Chains A and B, each alone.
Chain A
Amino acid sequence: MMFISSISYTASSFSEDKGFFKISGPDYSGHFEKNEIRRLSPIIITAVGCGLETNTNTNRELCGIITGTGRGCLSKTEQFLRDITTYKETALNPTHFIQSTNNTIGGMIALKLNVNTYNMTYVNQGLTVLNVLTDTEILVKENPGKNVLFGFFEENTEFNEKIHRDSGFLFEKDDNKIFYGEGTSFFLISDQKDNAIAMISEYTLFVNSEKKISDDIHTYLTNIPWDSNSAIYAGYNNEFEKHHFYKDISSFATGRKIPEITFKHQTGDFDTASGHAMAMAVDDITKGKYNRIVIFNHYKKKSLHSIIISKP
C-alpha cells in the first residue's frame, strides 16, 4: 500500500501572451541561495523547491528520489542549442548543458537534502507517471517504514508549443482548443499509515485499442465500489475530446450521478498531467470533499490510464 504523507504542487495561469498555461506559483526560491537563483533555470528552482518543500516536516528516513517528466528541462536544452548556433560552437557556457540534463532535478534534490539514496528519472511521454508509480511501489516494498520522494515536472516553451501545433496535437475543432501547459508536483510516500493524508489505491493502464478500451473501462468502472463520496477526475481538454476516449466514462458518471470533474482547464495539457491531477486529488481528499477520486487521463490519445486516490 502506498500512503501519502505530504504533497506540494504548482498552480498555473493562462498566458494570453504566450497562448499556453504557465506556472504561476508558489514561490519556492526560499530553498535557494541568491547566486543559485541567478544561475538556475526557473523550472529547476520550481521543481527542486517543490520537492524540498514536500520533504519538510518529516521524521522518516528517505530511501529514494524518483522524478518523471515528458520533455525534461526544455528551456535550457533549447538555450544550449541556440548557443551552439549563435556562438558557432565556441566559448559555450556549460551551465546550460548541465541544466538541460533530465536527471538534474532529481540529482539536485539529493544534493540539497544530502541523502545518498536511490535516484531515478523517467522520461516517457504519457507513460511517465505510471513508470514512476511502478518504481515507487517496488521501492516502498523493498524498504518498509521508509519514505520515497517522487514527483513530476514539466515546462513549456514557444519552441515546444510550435512543435506540438505543427504535429497536429494542439488542434482546434468547432472552437474547441487544446492548450498546452506546465506544472510540477511532488509526493512523499511510504507503507506506513500514520500521518497519511491520502493513499494511492491502484493504477491501471488500459490496452491501446479503442474497442478493447471501451470494454475494459466498462468492466473497470463497474468493479469500483462507488459511494456518495466518490468522484471522477477526467483528463479531457474540451467537449470535442470528450467524445473520443472519455465518452464511456462520462456516460457512466452521468448514469451513476458521480461528479465528473475536469482539471486541464486549470493546467493545460502536458505529458505528466495525471501526476498533477494526483496532487489536486490529494488536496480535495484532505479538504474532505471526497473519499475516493478516480483519475482518468491519456496523452495524445495514447496510454489511457487511471489512478485511484483514496482517504487512508
Chain B
Amino acid sequence: MFDPWPNILSRLVILKMGQNNAEVWITGIGILSALGNGFEENWAALKSGKSALRPIELSGSIHDGKFFAGMVSLSDEELVKQLSELNIRYPHNRPTLMSLYTARQALRNADIEMFTDKIVLISATTVGGISSTEKHFDNLSLNKTKATQEFLSEMDCGSISRNVCSYLGLSKPHYMISTACSSSNNAIMLGARLIKAGKAEVVLAGGSDSLSKFVLNGFHSLKNLDPKPCTPFDKDRFGLNLGEGAAYLVLESSKHATNRGKSSLAVVAGYGNISETYHITGSSPHGMGAYGAMSLALTSANLNPQEIDFIHSHGTSTIDNDLAESNAIKRLFGNDIAFGSSKGYTGHTLAAAGAISSVLSIGMMQHGFIFPTINFRHPIPETGLSPVTTIKENQHLRHIMVNSFGFGGNNTSLIFSKAA
C-alpha cells in the first residue's frame, strides 16, 4: 500500500522568516458572519455556544430552505447604509460590500485612518461576484440596465480588492488571492511574509464570500452538503453547511506599531502552505497535506507540537476533510491535543473561513476561552479523537493554530501567539 509518510518531511519547503527581525503583530480585527456584525456580536454569540445556522434563504433556487447555512443578517441595502460615509456610488456585489464593512472595522480597531499610502490590502475570495452574475446570466441578450452591466463587469475576483482600495483610499498596490477555501489563510500568510521581507509595514488581510446558487449547486453536485446542521469530527458526519461572511485583520510590523504606541492583539508566529498532490478536490484519507501544512507552520514558528494549546481546525464536517485532518492531528500532536471546529456556528464561509477563524482565535487567546464544537457525539473510529465539546474558560492559551484547506490540495496552517 502507498505510504506517503517516509519521504514527506524531506520534501517540504519551509517558508523561512525573512531577514527582517520585526515581529508581525495583529493590531486590528473586523468580522461579519452568521454569528453577528462586528467582533462584539460574534464573540457574544460564540460564548453562548449556540449555532447561527438556519435553513438557507436563496431566492430563486430550488434548494431554498433545504440545506442549513450560515447567513449574514445585513442585506446589501443595509450594508450600503452602514457604509454611508464611504458614499458607495454603484451597485456592488455582496462580497465587495462585506469586505468594505469588515476592512473598515479592522482599520478603526487598529486606530488607522483611511486614505493612506501606508496600507497594503490583501483580499481573498473564491468566486468573486458570481452571486450577482448568476442573477443576470440569463438575460445577456436583453437590453441591460446600468446596474446589470456593473454587476457583470465586476464578476471577477480582482474587482473586490480594487473597489475596497478605492473606497478606503488605499493607494498602495493591492493583492487578490483565490485558492479556494484556503484563500484568506493565504492572504494572512502573504501579509506576514511581505512584512518580514520588508515590502510592507502595515497590511490589511482577509477575505469574503457570499452564498450563491453557483457554489451551493457546486458542493451539492459533489455530494458534500448536509441538509441538517453539520457535525464536525463526528463519526456520522455527512457534509458541510455553507456560510457567508468576511473578516479582515490589520497586520503590522512590531516596529511600526511600537512607534505609534499601538499594542498588539496577537502575534503571527508561523505559517505553512503545501499542495497535497493527492486529488484535485478531495483530501487524502491519511491527511498528508494537513500534516505538511501544520508541520511547516510549527517549523517556521520554531515551536514543538506540545506548545500548541488549541487547533482551530478546518473541520468542515465533510467525510473526507475531517478524516484527513483528524489523522494528521493525531500523527503530529498525539491523542491529547485540544482542537475544535467553528463551522457548526458560522457554516463554511469558503474564502472567508481562514480569516474568520483567525479573528475568533484571537478573541479566544485574549479571553482564555475555548468554544465547544457543537453537534459532536462519537469520535471518528479511525483516530478516536474528540474535539473540545464543553465551554472552557480561564484557559492559558499561548499559541493557537488555525487550519484552512482548499480545492487543488491547497493546505495552509497559521500559528497565532498571545501578545506579550
Query: Chain A residues in contact with chain B, CB under 8 A?
Result: 63-65, 70-72, 77, 80-82, 84-85, 88-90, 92-94, 97-98, 100-104, 106-108, 110-111, 113-125, 127-128, 130-131, 134-135, 138-139, 141-143, 146, 159, 162-164, 166-167, 205, 207-208, 271, 302-303
Contacts and interface: CB of A to CB of B under 8 A. Distances in A.
B11 A131 contact: no
B155 interface: yes
B193 interface: yes
A135 B175 CA distance: 10
A104 B158 contact: no
Contacts of A70: 156, 158
A80 B215 CA distance: 10
B275 A119 contact: yes
Contacts of B137: 81-82, 85
Interface centre among A64, A115, A121 (most CB of B within 10 A): A121
Contacts of A104: 280, 407-408
B176 A63 contact: no
B103 to A, nearest CB: 16
Contact of A122 (B175, B276, B279): B175
B419 interface: no
Interface stretch (B78-86, B105-113, B216-224, B376-384): B216-224
B138 A125 contact: no
Given A63-B13, A81-B133, A122-B175, A92 B217 contact: yes
Contact of B194 (A92, A110, A123, A138): A138
B194 A97 contact: no
Nearest to A135: B190
A138 B134 contact: no
A104 B175 CA distance: 19
A119 B16 contact: no
B197 interface: yes
A98 B157 contact: no
B221 A94 contact: yes
Nearest to A143: B13
Interface in B126-165: 126-128, 130, 133-134, 137-138, 140, 144, 149, 152-153, 155-159, 161-162
Contacts of A205: 173
B140 A162 contact: yes
A142 B156 CA distance: 31
B65 to A, nearest CB: 13
A208 B171 CA distance: 8
B44 interface: no
Contacts of A116: 8, 11-13, 274-277, 288-289, 292
A303 to B, nearest CB: 8
B418 interface: no
Given A131-B175, A143-B13, A125 B159 contact: yes
Given A80-B218, A81-B134, A84-B134, A123 B158 contact: yes
B129 to A, nearest CB: 11
B176 A122 contact: yes
Contacts of A101: 126, 180, 407-408
B222 A97 contact: yes
Given A94-B218, A121-B178, A142-B18, 7 more contacts: A65-B275, A103-B408, A124-B162, A125-B159, A127-B174, A163-B155, A271-B156
Interface residues of B, number: 69
17 contacts: A64-B13, A89-B217, A97-B217, A97-B218, A103-B407, A111-B279, A116-B275, A116-B277, A119-B409, A120-B177, A120-B179, A124-B158, A124-B161, A138-B199, A164-B153, A166-B152, A167-B149
B386 interface: no
A120 B188 CA distance: 13
B22 interface: no
A215 to B, nearest CB: 16
Contacts of B199: 134, 138
Contacts of B159: 125
B408 A123 contact: no
9 interchain residue pairs of minimum CB distance: A107-B408, A125-B158, A97-B218, A124-B176, A119-B275, A110-B275, A102-B178, A124-B158, A94-B221
B102 interface: no
A103 B279 CA distance: 13
Interface centre among A82, A89, A118 (most CB of B within 10 A): A118
Contacts of A141: 18, 197
A86 to B, nearest CB: 11
Given A94-B222, A97-B222, A162-B140, A103 B152 contact: no
B407 A84 contact: no
A296 B156 CA distance: 23
A90 B276 CA distance: 31
A72 to B, nearest CB: 7
Contacts of B8: 116
Nearest to B156: A71
Interface centre among A64, A65, A111, A146 (most CB of B within 10 A): A111
